[in-house]
Chains A and B, each alone.
Chain A
Amino acid sequence: MTQGLPLAVDGLTKQFGPVRAVDDLSFTVAPGKVTGFLGPNGAGKTTTLRCLLGLVAPTAGTTRIGDRDYRDLPRPLHTVGAALEATGFHPGRSAREHLRVLALSGGIALERVDQVLAQVGLSQAAERRTGGFSLGMRQRLQLAAAMLGDPGVLLLDEPANGLDPEGIAWLRGFLRHLAGQGRTVLVSSHVLAEVEQTVQDVVIIAGGRLVRACPLAELRGSAGGVVVRTPDPEALRAALPPESVRAQDDGTLLVSGLEPHAVGHAAFVAGVELHELRAATTELEDVFLELTRAPATGAVA
């Protein structure tokens, strides 16, 4: 395995005729972590990934793998593995032959082909023509292709699309495992919930612009918290750190920066009666929606 390299997108802009798909976008991605690349449909995720891979020429700005342009990598498939949306298989070619072609092109030992097929659970289908593959099988084959060169950087565009629940669970573990080995893993998705359990960092874009780039925990901080319902809000406020409690429209209190057990304990010690106590997990998705909605509508206006 080659080592994980940081990725840098700097002032990236891509104009497709009248459409500005990516607009002055800058962010970095660190090795050793899984980074979620998030944004609603049409946000510019795929375009950004294609720019990073030298497939699409930026209108302005630069993209770097480590300190190089993708096109200047001496052994690209050993350095970066990519699984992009949009197929890319000859329907009449078998999965194994597809990978053998790529291995030859990339200067990769042909033994790797059967290894990666086994890794993604496609050994049984190796001889079958890809034209008959299901969406999930295609995704697995894309992933196998990305892993061929045992690269230190993985760019995966919506890899969970079409995977069954078992496949998704497997993918999560797989990505964490890869990042744990020190690789750089960038995974795009338009649903935060899908990658919430996998990613440490998030890069959120909307309308081609950066909305937020931060650790997921930070996003949780601004999102999560604990929802509490009590007949005596003032007593509970007094029992909790100041500034951490906010009243909500539905009569509940939202406590940020604390875990549910801590809030429950504080209430118990202060003798405050609670009618409801739960983690506000759904809030994270709401924050994501909120974050990505505003600039998109702003761009239209």
Chain B
Amino acid sequence: MTTTAVPRPDGRPRLLRAELLKVASTRMWVGLLIGAVLYVALQVVSLYFATLTANTGGGPTVPTLRTAEGVRNLFAGAGGAYLFALVVGILGMTQEFRFQTITGAFLAVPRRGRIVAAKMGAYALVGAAYALVGLVVGYLLAVILLAFTDHAPIGLATLGQIAGGAVLGAALYAVLGVAVGTLVRNQIAALLGALVWVLLVEALLVAFLPAVGRWLPGGALSAVLQSTGLGNATYLPVWGGALLLLGYALVLAGAAAATTLRRDVS
């Protein structure tokens, strides 16, 4: 084969750029971003009214907005974009199989694992971006709501901590979504499976069997988010949770590489 004059661009950034262009060139990301923003807004507003009306009946005591903890919980609601990050990761991968664009991707890059790796990188960025937009909207909303309320002050450091956890958690959940989508190529199955797991099975396990729950992806996410004040002492440290989440993504992707990723594309 003759070599042409065109220099060969380095593989990694080129594939990452291709994956980011895939995201940018369809509208899927917009719809999910709107969903994430609405969800965050709803969460902040409902947290606000929950703290206002709390402690009037006989239920468990909720920290009021006169305490630092109560104010922190309110702002922590702004970090709720992670679920949408998971979904965008799943859709990003499974739609390649659904629309058979995976054929073109594998023709361009026959080493299939590199496509998955690049997509994980791209969706980590997408997940982080979702979290950032959610944080901006959620913080603004919280500030506006607090303007009408007698409340304790909140430090910039705390806001930064919340934001850090939310961005890291969403990025890792998006990576996990890509891994799930590689293993379960059917879009509906992957999406339903992941949502049932996260919202039902795991939520219950984390709540009622914390000793087990802390080792699950949801427990790991809670560990990452614990700077938000939503966590509690049974979780791993932040770095431990982040590593565990990444580990889950890599194990799933590894399982996919050994099974579904090798399958015939036809």
Contact = CB atoms under 8 A, between A and B. Distances in A.
- A interacts with B: yes
Contact of B111 (A71, A100, A145): A71
Contacts of B15: 104-105
A67 to B, nearest CB: 10
B25 A97 contact: yes
A57 B6 contact: no
B110 A104 contact: no
Contacts of A75: 8
Given A56-B266, A70-B110, A93-B26, A104 B17 contact: yes
B266 A145 contact: no
Interface stretch (B72-80, B95-103, B183-191, B212-220): B95-103
A152 B2 CA distance: 10
Given A47-B266, A145-B104, A107 B9 contact: yes
B21 A100 contact: yes
B4 A2 contact: yes
B147 interface: no
Given A47-B266, A54-B110, A94-B25, A87 B99 contact: yes
B108 A76 contact: yes
A74 B95 CA distance: 27
Nearest to B111: A71
Given A50-B264, A101-B25, A3 B8 contact: no
A106 interface: yes
B20 to A, nearest CB: 9
A118 interface: no
A109 interface: yes
Contacts of A102: 104, 108
A82 B107 contact: yes
A94 B11 CA distance: 24
Contacts of A109: 6
B264 A89 contact: no
Given A5-B1, A101-B21, A104-B21, A55 B107 contact: yes
Contacts of A71: 110-111
B250 interface: no
Given A50-B265, A71-B110, A90-B95, A78 B103 contact: no
Contacts of B8: 75, 107
Interface residues of B, number: 34
A92 interface: yes
A18 interface: no
Contacts of A101: 18, 21-22, 25, 104
A135 B265 CA distance: 22
Contacts of B95: 90
A80 to B, nearest CB: 8
Interface in A54-84: 54-57, 66, 70-71, 73-80, 82, 84
Given A55-B266, A56-B264, A100-B21, A106 B108 contact: yes
Interface size class of A (residues with CB under 8 A): 35 or more
A78 B8 CA distance: 11
Nearest to A86: B100
Contact of B18 (A76, A91, A92, A105): A105
A53 B264 CA distance: 11
Contacts of B28: 92
A94 B18 CA distance: 15
Interface string A106-136: 1101000000000000000000000000000
B7 to A, nearest CB: 9
Nearest to B27: A92
Interface of B: 1-2, 4, 6, 8-9, 11, 14-15, 17-18, 21-22, 25-28, 95, 99-101, 103-111, 262, 264-266
Given A55-B106, A90-B101, 12 more contacts: A47-B266, A55-B103, A56-B264, A77-B108, A80-B107, A93-B22, A101-B21, A101-B22, A102-B108, A105-B18, A105-B104, A145-B104
- Sorted from nearest, which 6 A-B pairs have the closest CB atoms? A105-B108, A104-B18, A97-B25, A71-B110, A106-B108, A92-B26
Interface of A: 2-3, 5, 46-47, 50, 53-57, 66, 70-71, 73-80, 82, 84, 86-94, 97-98, 100-102, 104-107, 109, 145, 152
18 contacts: A2-B1, A3-B1, A5-B1, A46-B266, A50-B264, A55-B103, A56-B264, A56-B266, A57-B264, A76-B107, A78-B4, A87-B99, A90-B95, A92-B26, A98-B25, A100-B25, A102-B108, A105-B15
